[in-house]
Structure 1
Amino acid sequence: MRRTEQRPEPADFPQAGPVEPSGLLDLLGVAAVLLEADGRIDMWSPQAEELFGYTRGEAVGQYAAPLLLHPEHQDAAITLFAEVMATGRGWAGAFPVRHKDGSTRMVEFRNMRLTDNQGDHYALGLATDRTTLRQVERNLALSTRLVTQAPIGLAVLDADLRYLAINPALAAMHGVPEDEHLGRGFRDILPGTPFLGAETVMRQVLISGLPVVDQQVVGRTAADPDHDHAWAASFYRLEDHHGSVLGLATVVVDVTDRYRAAVKADQAQQRLRLIAKGSARIGTTLEVERTARELADVVVPDLADMVAVDLLDSVLQTGRGDVGEGPALFRALAVKTAYPTDATEAIVPPGSLTTYHADHPAAHCIRTGRPQLITHLERRDIPRIATDPDAARLLAKAGVHTDMAVPLIARGQVIGVMGLARARNPLPFDEDDLTLACELASSAALSIDNAVLHQHIRSAAETLQRSLLPQLTPHHPGLEVAARYLPAQAFSEVGGDWYDVIPLDGGRTVLTVGDVMGSGIPAATTMGRLRTATSTLADLDLDPARILTHLDKITHGLDPYIATCVYVVYDPDHRRIQVASAGHLPPVLVRAGKPPELLDLPTGTPLGVGGVPFETTTLDLQPGDHLVLYTDGLVETRHDPIDERLADLLRLLAPPYSSVEETCDRLLRQLRDPAGHDDVALLVARALPLDGGGDHLAGGATGS
């Protein structure tokens, strides 16, 4: 025969020793009275004294009917008593009983015949107050209905956490029938890992006696094994009237809707925080690649496990998203993963050019301008998001299971694509994730487009700027000259800094450096016009102050631009210079054997202000001496005092001296702000003798 499976039963019967009594009989106060065959009271319990009011001495030996009943009820009671004694059949019912104090109360009776070993008959009467009994019955009925019909889960477990009772609501939550709970342990019914914490709390309640209310438990049961549910569980210890631990009661409320609403609200808050984070961190500069990296930094790991940002190469080259015939050509700008993974090798590295097959999500975005969401990627679908079979193998190995591609759209034009994927994160992308990605991509696309536009404008301005600067020869009569021009960094616009070296009659040379206040193509154009004017005026062989006066008038006509300028004429025959400044930083004079010094010149006002005369200063410049002209981009920063920066300039020009070329390189390398917010024009000239022995004399003067 097949053995039927037996569930363990609760341990209601101990192996040995007495069991603690229940308190129910004490609550009912059941009285016991023993009557002889003739109706006289033979025994009288203490509970009878309490119920009827008569002491044992007052009751024993008395006839029960006259003592306890009103006259009108005595005949009926005697008849019922006689029937019980004659037939042996028990009787149950209620009679109004006269209490010793004269009051009347309804008493519930159970009467039965007893026979001793002599064959004599007695009547045993058990009685309790009917009002108390009815209250207990009502409470019991109410409790039974409450337990069976309540929409919340209720259960009683013993001290070993085995189910003694469970209501239908909790059985339905567990997905296990009520009868299959009884005798089985809590972890037998709910084996999942999320319920380990609940078991620990239940055992603590059994030990401490302190109840736990609204312990949240999130997990899956047999009722719905594919989705998480949430419950608020309360536990309290059960004790009898002696304080002995009977077990544990649990009250469970399904709060899944509230839990899911809270999760959605939290996700919404996270999305808002991510959008705010994107607004603060994306587009901090006008660099295309950096903006793409900022976008990648925002979405990983908060939104995706891996991301790639690609831009149409035509946008970088021409500023237009014109893909032409055939597959679109992309330039990879940024790649980021939330953790080290071989999948990185499946993603096109930054700086590389690539095309995607027609079914690739990126190609789909370029064709349609719409995002593409792939919620679940089966292994056979991986080639769809990969560039080639090797990449597909790496992505599959990494566990990529969901993907989306979002177009980068700026001013109504698709300029690139952002691709996102998840591998370790088990949740698939959903519509909310797609909306968030589109929001971030939209903001980033505008910043990238602005950066591209700035890059093209800046490139044009820099090209114009460099085309307007002179092509210097290193040697002029009595001078060795070196010059440098460095535009501002990519996130700043090219300014209007310039330098020039102009030969004059009699072997003299003009050295000039200037700075137009402004940036971009207009500043570069203004710079070109001023440089041309300076070169033309120089041929007139005028005093430097008069040259600046004429330039001031010209600049005033170029409103709203103003400029600073320092103008120097070197005469090698007389070994002197004439200098005039229009609001420019002072040149540095480096004399052999003396510390470098800033020339103390009348500063003058910038060109274009008008109405203020300029002054010319005459100084000696001997062979071996150096003169350094520069614009403010060399020494000014946003954080350092200008006096400290000028002191650094003088320190770098102290002996031992280098060639003018090396001096230019050293000053730019050690002084220029790494951020490069402004252009730099630098001109270094060293005086040489005119007798042909310049190299020997210069070497001795400079210590080279």
Structure 2
Amino acid sequence: MTSENDRPDRSGGGAGEGPGRACDIATAAAAELDGRGVVVSWTRAAERLLGYPATEVLGRSAVTLLAVPGDAARVAAVAHWAGDGWSGSVAARHRDGHAIQLAVEVSPVITAATGGTAAPERWSVVALEEWRVPGGGVNQLMLEPFLAHAPVGMAVLDTDLRYVWVNAVLERLIPLEQRLGRTVAQVLPRDEADAFEERMGQVLKTGKPVMDYEFRTRNYADPNQERAYSASFFRLAGPKGRGVGIWYMVIDVTERWRAQEGLALLNDASARIGSTLDVARTAQELADVAVPPLADFVAVDLLDSVLRGEEPEPGPVDSTPTMWRAGQRSVREGCPEAALAVGEAVRRQPWSAIGQCLLTGESVVEPLLNADSTWVAEDPRRADVVREYGFRSVMVAPVRARGITLGAATFVRSRRQGLFDADDVRLAEELVARAAVCLDNARRFTRERTAARMMQRNLLPHALAGGVALDVASWYFPADVPSGVGGDWFDVIPLSGARVALVVGDVVGHGIDAAATMGRLRTAVRTLANLDLPPDELLARLDDLVIGLMETRRDGGAGADDGTAATALGFMGATCLYAVYDPVSRSCTMARASHLPPAVLAPDGVVDFPDLPAGPPLGLGAMPFESAELELAEGSLLALYTNGLLETYDRDIGVGMARLGRALAEPGATLDEIGGNVVSALLTGPPSDDAALLLARTHALDASQVASWDLSADPAVVAGARNLAGRQLAAWGLEPLRFTTELVVSELVTNAIRHGSGPITLRLIRQDAALICEVFDTGSTAPHLRHARTTDEGGRGLLIVAQLTRRWGTRYTANGKIIWAEQGQGEPPRESSGEAPRETPGKTPGDPAPPVPAPHDAG
């Protein structure tokens, strides 16, 4: 046996690494072990330290002297550390049974070469009570209790990933007897164990620690709750840096995780909710965002007034309002647990969970659902749903924004672990509050858009009538833009002489301003059309009106500082196409102000786009407008449209016009069928600009409906003209209109002879519901009504015509003017204010009429 005073210092470590450096080696206990760990040498200091005499220790394994099995495993591992030493703290068992914490250093003393390697044959063990080592008291009295009872979980594992030590925190999660000596895979759940083993292996291999690995697992104390943890892994190294085990630390970060999850949910909601200004879509986005991060099923119910865009009453809802399911989402495909489908009415009682939420304006939470819960009792069908799908908790939050209640959002948990708590309520209220602002914005937009579209519908024609000249049909599609309205318009205007005017136009821009301007231009066109102006002159007058509008807006906004100037200058003009079709001559006169030309489909199926003078846009006033006249065969089809129908972001005007031509050329199709073909071919989705289409199929009046006579400018022909008109009405079977028509003919012919010049032409046109009388002369003087005094001999002719007919007027031609009057067939003649009709001067009622020419075709 080696004397305790003869042992050399074999610590081999730096200061503080072992007992040889920590204190006087003479006071340390020493022993020697063979290669199998059997004690072969035992000093008196070792006997004083542990109480065992040499006779009881020699020949025994050193492992039997240890108090903790884990320390035994570490000591047994010494045999595998060829050429290495080991130092550390172990618990030894005193002969009387109490444990002693020792600071130990193990070093090889005899090494034999075997098979090319150096295998230790003898080991030197130096031990000292740990409290005697400088700093050892701290280790013994403070460090060990601190580690064992620290508020974070800690564990030590050997290189086989077997637990050799855990502190009290981890022991509370899984009992100590279920950990020590077992591997990670035998202790932890499979997914958690796989992740731990992967990271521990990486740490053992590289020596680089893994920090802050976060994972979630069920709460061992409460399986219904889910907790989040952060784990950090470190390698335990021997004196020469070889890994001897793993130490890891686990911290409960559930609160941090929930805060991060809540912030991520709110951030996601800010990006996804409110992507459109559609109320129902926004409600669905709220449900989509909340499932599954917050709940397993979410339903959003909104007040009926909100979906219509109306302004709800401020404050709580203290009645049983009609609500609609605006959106819902579930972790289960198809929302099988939902009692209602999206779009169905929801009727709640005041005492229900949603009723309480609407009344109080505060969230309602029922943490654990059963058949007696309020949320279940308000709808008996829910009891079965709760049992079938395992509903655990429900929360109802009010949807409120800007002091008004819009509806309620219901959150339900079933698959998700845990019940709704105060933190969930705060998160749901914040989420719903953000969504409520978007819903209210969408509601306000719906209100404004509805008002704008209603105004636009009222400004556009409600019904179109082409009379005997045209069969007409129209289509209008608002732009798919936030405003929803634009400045496109079309109209069909009856004119004198059975003629019909067709007009289509486009105001630059969108919004209420463009729609209002469109209404003003449409009204102006109808007013100018009633003056029977030629197309080119009408566009010139309309151009002056647009220039005036722009100047007025520019002047009105120049001095404003509230943003109205920019709005005023936003109107930059308009385009327009104006056409007049005459069914008697089958002529169509057109003029356009930078608008797209019409498409003309001939009866033989050939489509043509007439080359009309383009003209400048309305509002420039730079160049004059020109008109062109076409002769259309009966049955021709006219198509007037705006550029929104043809031009898209991926298609230019030329391609659109080619598609339009092919869509129009369908033999035997009705106007509705042709229009449907055009829309299907050109509008594959909501248009980016307003699109208008006006179709008109032409008719011609044959000779049996028109009678015309050329008259000389002699007052003697007036009586003959009356007789001609009377005989023609008799031939047409319009005897009830004979008396009135003869008076009208007499007055108009007399005025033409007295105030006009050149040859005179009398023409009668019979329509289905009207009779038109026209008198043409070469004069340019415009007639007008006069209110003659009782002493005046004349001046009452046009007043009599106005009293006897439905309407009358004057239109100018290239060679003169036409005075016309229109009567309704089947209408009784109007009284003539008590005055007898004026006869032709120099003739009495019984005189025979002078010779007049026979009627001829008006064409």
TM-score tier after normalising by the smaller chain length? 0.5 to 0.7
Task: Summarize deviations over 1:20-74 as a string: whole Å, max 9, x none.
Answer: 43398789999xxxxxxxxxxxxxxxxxxxxxxxxxxxxxxxxxxxxxxxxxxxx
Aligned-partner Cα distance in 1 for 2:354–2:293: 22
1:19 and 1:199, CA in 2 relative to 1: closer, same or farther beyond 3 A?
farther
Give the letter aligned to residue 256 of structure 1.
I
Match of 2:665, SS?
coil
1:462 and 1:501, CA in 2 relative to 1: closer, same or farther beyond 3 A?
same
Mapping 1:532-681, distance limit 5 Å: 532-559=523-550, 560=568, 561=571, 562-593=573-604, 595-656=606-667, 658-681=669-692
Q: Percent identity?
A: 33
Aligned-partner Cα distance in 2 for 1:442–1:574: 69
Give the letter aligned to residue 319 of structure 1.
E
Which residue of structure 2 lines up, in the alignment, with residue 59 of structure 1?
none
Aligned-partner Cα distance in 1 for 2:175–2:331: 47
Give the letter aligned to residue 279 of structure 1.
S
Aligned-partner Cα distance in 2 for 1:430–1:364: 19
1:161 deviates by 4.7
Which residue of structure 2 lines up, in the alignment, with residue 111 of structure 1?
none
Which residue of structure 2 lines up, in the alignment, with residue 684 of structure 1?
695
Comparing 355-364 with 529-538, greater Cα deviation is found at 355-364
Give the letter aligned to residue 636 of structure 1.
E
Unaligned runs of 5+ in 1: 1-17, 31-127, 695-704
Which residue of structure 2 lines up, in the alignment, with residue 331 of structure 1?
324
Which residue of structure 2 lines up, in the alignment, with residue 424 of structure 1?
415
1:485 and 1:201, CA in 2 relative to 1: closer, same or farther beyond 3 A?
closer
1:319 and 1:176, CA in 2 relative to 1: closer, same or farther beyond 3 A?
closer
Aligned-partner Cα distance in 1 for 2:660–2:352: 57
Give the letter aligned to residue 270 of structure 2.
S
Task: Summarize deviations over 1:533-552 as a string: whole Å, max 9, x none.
Answer: 22221122221011011122
Mapping 1:166-565, distance limit 5 Å: 166=165, 170-171=167-168, 173-175=170-172, 185=182, 190=187, 196-197=193-194, 228=227, 231-234=231-234, 249-253=245-249, 255-257=250-252, 259-260=253-254, 263-264=257-258, 267-268=259-260, 270-317=261-308, 319-322=310-313, 326-340=319-333, 344-346=337-339, 348-374=340-366, 376-380=367-371, 382-384=373-375, 387-470=378-461, 472=463, 475-488=466-479, 492-559=483-550, 560=568, 561=571, 562-565=573-576
Give the letter aligned to residue 403 of structure 1.
V
Aligned-partner Cα distance in 1 for 2:546–2:461: 20
1:140 and 1:596, CA in 2 relative to 1: closer, same or farther beyond 3 A?
same
Aligned-partner Cα distance in 2 for 1:176–1:547: 91
Give the number of aligned pairs.
563
1:507 deviates by 2.4
Aligned-partner Cα distance in 2 for 1:467–1:162: 82
Match of 1:310, SS?
strand
Residues 660 and 681, structure 2, Cα contact 8 Å, conserved in 1: no
Match of 2:613, SS?
coil
Match of 1:451, SS?
helix
Aligned-partner Cα distance in 2 for 1:176–1:399: 27
1:232 and 1:647, CA in 2 relative to 1: closer, same or farther beyond 3 A?
same
1:513 deviates by 1.2
Aligned-partner Cα distance in 1 for 2:219–2:474: 79
Task: Summarize deviations over 1:525-580 as a string: whole Å, max 9, x none.
Answer: 43333223222211222210110111222233434443321100112333221111
Aligned-partner Cα distance in 2 for 1:471–1:198: 71
1:518 and 1:157, CA in 2 relative to 1: closer, same or farther beyond 3 A?
closer
Aligned-partner Cα distance in 2 for 1:276–1:172: 35
Task: Summarize deviations over 1:143-198 as a string: whole Å, max 9, x none.
Answer: 867884451656577979585xx4xx625631499996898646899576577448
TM-score, length basis structure 2? 0.56
Comparing 535-544 with 599-608, greater Cα deviation is found at 599-608
Higher relative contact order (Cα pairs below 8 Å, separated by 6+ residues)? 1
Residues 488 and 676, structure 1, Cα contact 8 Å, conserved in 2: yes
Task: Summarize deviations over 1:392-427 as a string: whole Å, max 9, x none.
Answer: 320343222233223222322111222222211113
1:138 and 1:686, CA in 2 relative to 1: closer, same or farther beyond 3 A?
same
Match of 2:167, SS?
helix
Residues 161 and 245, structure 2, Cα contact 8 Å, conserved in 1: no
1:449 and 1:472, CA in 2 relative to 1: closer, same or farther beyond 3 A?
same
Residues 415 and 445, structure 1, Cα contact 8 Å, conserved in 2: yes
Which residue of structure 1 lines up, in the alignment, with residue 799 of structure 2?
none
Aligned-partner Cα distance in 2 for 1:188–1:686: 85
RMSD: 4.6
Residues 528 and 538, structure 2, Cα contact 8 Å, conserved in 1: yes
1:604 and 1:181, CA in 2 relative to 1: closer, same or farther beyond 3 A?
closer
Give the letter aligned to residue 659 of structure 2.
D
Mapping 1:127-138, distance limit 5 Å: 138=133
Task: Summarize deviations over 1:569-624 as a string: whole Å, max 9, x none.
Answer: 11233322111112322211223446423332232233334354221122222223
Residues 312 and 406, structure 2, Cα contact 8 Å, conserved in 1: yes
Among 123, 142, 151, which residue is 2:147 paired with?
151
1:349 deviates by 2.0
Mapping 1:67-146, distance limit 5 Å: 138=133
Residues 515 and 565, structure 1, Cα contact 8 Å, conserved in 2: yes
Give the letter aligned to residue 633 of structure 1.
G
Which residue of structure 2 lines up, in the alignment, with residue 4 of structure 1?
none
TM-score, length basis structure 1? 0.67
1:614 and 1:360, CA in 2 relative to 1: closer, same or farther beyond 3 A?
same
1:389 deviates by 1.4
Aligned-partner Cα distance in 2 for 1:396–1:295: 26
Match of 1:614, SS?
coil
Residues 341 and 398, structure 1, Cα contact 8 Å, conserved in 2: no
Residues 277 and 442, structure 2, Cα contact 8 Å, conserved in 1: yes
1:693 and 1:188, CA in 2 relative to 1: closer, same or farther beyond 3 A?
same
Residues 631 and 681, structure 1, Cα contact 8 Å, conserved in 2: yes
Aligned-partner Cα distance in 1 for 2:510–2:629: 33
1:135 and 1:384, CA in 2 relative to 1: closer, same or farther beyond 3 A?
closer
1:540 and 1:424, CA in 2 relative to 1: closer, same or farther beyond 3 A?
same
Residues 383 and 392, structure 1, Cα contact 8 Å, conserved in 2: no
Give the letter aligned to residue 352 of structure 1.
E
1:276 and 1:585, CA in 2 relative to 1: closer, same or farther beyond 3 A?
farther
Unaligned runs of 5+ in 2: 1-32, 46-122, 149-153, 551-567, 706-859
1:444 deviates by 2.9
